[in-house]
Amino acid sequence: MSSEDKKIQKELTTEEKSMILTEINKVLNSGFRILGFDGGMAFPHYPYYSYFSDSDKELRRYSIGIFTIWLGYWNTECSFRFTKQSELYKYIKALVEYQEEIEKDFPVLFNYIVSFLIELTENYGYGEQTRMKPYITNIVKEDFLSKKSYYGKKYRNRINFIEFLKELKVEDYDKPYE
């Protein structure tokens, strides 16, 4: 993580963390459970990659969750969050750095991340503006997916969406849609 990213993380007060968590929770519970990865729900813009190792587990959960959701939106071609590949690069580098902690603490989110990244790096049908740049694809394949030989087999297929919602602590994740 760059010193600029660490500076952003250190400057985050308890009040700011609470505000971020409240904003994210509001979006997650206002329609994501119904629309899933086809909804394109907008989340507040923060450098979530900076919080992949935060001591606050809820902030980590939501930060990793939003990254996962953005990958899901991209994968379904619902929306493309990473118009700046430099921003995607920061997320991928944080993922590579904290992959073991993420896999341990949030196994369902991790399953979705790996599955989406496998599909996004294998699918070249995306338009030029939404295709992952080759240098990022190389990082994903060489520094992330090939790190653990079992990733491709274990995580290619995604776990049930209800489990994803449950791990994100989305309210009423198991209730019928009204």
Per-residue pLDDT of the chain (178 residues; tens, 9 = 90+): 555 555 444 567 888 888 888 888 888 877 777 778 887 778 888 899 999 999 999 999 999 999 999 999 888 887 777 778 889 999 999 999 999 999 999 999 999 999 999 888 887 556 666 677 888 888 998 898 887 777 777 777 778 888 989 999 888 766 655 5
Q: What pLDDT score does 146 carry?
A: 84
> To the nearest 10°, the Cα dihedral for 41, 19, 85, 114?
-70
Which DSSP string corresponds to 7-76? Answer: HHHHT--HHHHHHHHHHHHHHIIIIIHHHGGGS--------GGGGTT-S-HHHHHHHHHHHHHHHHHHHH
Distances (CA, A) of 52 to 21, 25, 42: 14, 17, 20
54: nearest Cα among 108, 6, 18, 16: 6
Q: What pLDDT score does 178 carry?
A: 53
Residue 102: helix, strand or coil by DSSP? Answer: helix
Count CA atoms within 13 Å of residue 67 on its CB side.
Answer: 29
Q: What is the pLDDT of residues 41-85, one digit of tens each?
A: 788 888 999 999 999 999 999 999 999 999 998 888 877 777 788
> What radius of gyration, in Å, describes the C-alpha atoms of the chain?
16
Residue 42 φ/ψ, nearest 5 degrees: -90, 130
19 and 13 in contact (C-beta within 8 Å)? no
Distances (CA, A) of 103 to 42, 114, 135, 141, 155: 25, 10, 24, 17, 11
Q: What pLDDT score does 129 carry?
A: 60
The domain spans of the chain are 53-170
- Distance separating alpha carbons of residues 129 and 81, to the nearest angstrom: 11
